[in-house]
Amino acid sequence: MSATASKLRELKDLPGPRKIPVLGNLHQVTPARLHQDAEAWHLKYGPFFHIRLGVIDMLVVSDHQVLNTVLRDRPDGFKRAPIIEELGREMGLPPGVFTANGEQWKRQRRMVMAGFDPSHVKAYFPSLLKVAQRLRGRWQGSAGKSLELQPELMRFTVDAIAGLAFGSEINTLESDDEVIQHHLDKIFPMLFKRIMSFLPWWRMVRMPADRELERSVAAVMKAIEGFIADARQRLAADPARRANPPNLLESMVVAADEETSGVADIDVAGNVLTMLLAGEDTTANTLAWMIYLLKRNPETLLRAQAEVRAVAPDVAGFTPEQMAGLRYVEACAHETMRLKPVAPFQVIEALRDTVVADIRVPAGTQIWCLMRGDSMDQRHFPNPERFDPTRWLSDNGEGSGGDGSGDSRQMSPGSAKRVSMPFGAGPRICPGRYLALLEMKLVMATLLAHFDIEDVTTPDGGEAQECMQFTMMPVGLKMRLAARH
């Protein structure tokens, strides 16, 4: 991020859409397709351009090499834009590792990362397997019916994260009691709506939706208090658990109790909330996109089915080794996240005067990191619109020209991962990425081993529409399954 002073450009020198007084470019974006509006500007103005949303000037960056550089310069050079933490606190949401900054983030990161390393994720497998078996039972009972895809998948992710991370039994898959999921589903959309609001109406008048949000936040925080109280009770009843905590929550409680940890129960609560929200929403929406894309690409679906039925044919006997053997299914996940990243942008803020590419960036400037730009560029991915999981396979020549063309421009999977960054990059890369991939493979293996996908439909019968509500999700997908006997 260096250039000679004489060649540096200022933010005002950059191209970008025309701005109007007061609003800047705010009138030109629609919250539900905010990411697509920015991507359209990227195609028009290039990898670096300037926008203003209200009073906030922003540098938009889509070049993956520059994105890697700025995202790795955290937490010292850049921080996450503070609006998420500020609005979250106002809503009664304590900050977790996703929203925290500075020293608070460093303390929380150490606490959280230990529970998410690959060895710990493998140890969680029995808990995840139990939830996968419930999912199979639920779908067997619904065979032939039209299922709302995302709510079905969110039942799995809520049950999974509660069991393996908190040691608490939540069973939305076998019960009509969706209290936790019902409340969680209100928080992200409202947070995003407030982030995108030009005027903070909720500070002047409380609408029915604001009162409903308050009730949902109170209900979720009460549940979290219960999770923490249960964890403390288990630790008190069995002191040996402190030496080797069996789940992430108990690990965090033990860490919080250390005199020099700098971590309090409010930090534990913030990270429980973060895992419930992020663990439910991002993984479920990625799975929904993957099922949709597989159904639209019959050859890839058949290949994924064949792999699952050869490697992991029965959910009752799934093992971590079988899940590791689902290389093509994992490639489908990576290709889904390239085409349909549920976090298509990040916003960070410069902590000091710096230079990004050849652009002078004063301290306090916000940078909009447009994560999908280069992933859809012909220079990096030939036929970028095509769903081609073999881009992510390297042996037996599979990584070169997944369509059989032998296209020598096809990059290696390692290079592809430097361009497509669905989990972010640098020190603040998503700590739950290994768990997320394991959950995806478990769900897809359960689905493809025991069912045939008869149909995946959209509300209007056309292409699935992308909708931004803090995460990017498909609109209104429904699925119909036939059970295999």
- State whether CATH 1.10.630.10 applies to domain 5-371+421-483: yes
Average of per-residue pLDDT values in the chain = 87
Dihedral sign for Cα atoms in the order 89, 93, 99, 100: positive
For the segment 165-188, the average pLDDT, to the nearest whole number, is: 69
| Cβ-based neighbour number of residue 66 at 10 Å | 19
Q: Which two tokens stand for residue 482?
A: 């036939």
For the segment 144-160, the average pLDDT, to the nearest whole number, is: 91
What CA–CA distance (Å, rounded) separates 122 from 124? 5
**Residues 121, 428 contacting (CB under 8 angstroms):** no
Q: Is 342 exposed, middle or buried (0-12, 13-18, 19+ CB in 10 A)?
A: buried
The pLDDT value recorded for residue 101 is 81
74 alpha-carbon distance from chain centroid: 19
Q: Which two tokens stand for residue 458?
A: 């959209």
> Residue 400's pLDDT band (boundaries 50, 70, 90)?
very low
Which of 444, 67, 410, 97 shows the shortest CA–CA distance to 248? 97
Burial of 396-421, coded b for 16+ CB within 10 Å and e otherwise, reads eebbbbbeeeeeeebbebeebbbbbb
The pLDDT value recorded for residue 398 is 39
Helix/strand/coil for 451: strand
Which distant-in-sequence residues (6+ apart) come within 8 Å of 223 by Cβ? 180
**Residues 293, 339 contacting (CB under 8 angstroms):** yes
> Residue 178's pLDDT band (boundaries 50, 70, 90)?
low
| Cβ-based neighbour number of residue 193 at 10 Å | 16
* pTM for this prediction: 0.88
- Tell me the domain boundaries of the chain: 5-371+421-483
The pLDDT value recorded for residue 114 is 64
Q: Which two tokens stand for residue 104?
A: 């608070």
284-320 per-position pLDDT tens digit: 999 999 999 999 999 999 999 999 999 999 999 999 9
What CA–CA distance (Å, rounded) separates 30 from 246? 45
The pLDDT value recorded for residue 397 is 38
Higher-confidence position of 107 and 169: 107
The pLDDT value recorded for residue 5 is 57
- Size (the chain), residues: 485
Q: Which two tokens stand for residue 300?
A: 């890839």
Which distant-in-sequence residues (6+ apart) come within 8 Å of 309 by Cβ? 448, 449
For the segment 395-406, the average pLDDT, to the nearest whole number, is: 39
113 alpha-carbon distance from chain centroid: 17
**Residues 69, 1 contacting (CB under 8 angstroms):** yes
For the segment 183-197, the average pLDDT, to the nearest whole number, is: 84
What CA–CA distance (Å, rounded) separates 251 from 229? 14
249-267 per-position pLDDT tens digit: 887 788 778 777 777 778 8
The pLDDT value recorded for residue 173 is 67
The pLDDT value recorded for residue 435 is 87
218-236 per-position pLDDT tens digit: 988 888 888 888 888 999 9
Helix/strand/coil for 29: coil
Residue 166 has pLDDT above 80, yes or no: no
95-129 per-position pLDDT tens digit: 887 777 887 788 778 777 766 767 777 777 888 89
What CA–CA distance (Å, rounded) separates 448 from 438? 15
448-461 per-position pLDDT tens digit: 999 999 999 999 99
DSSP class of residue 211? H
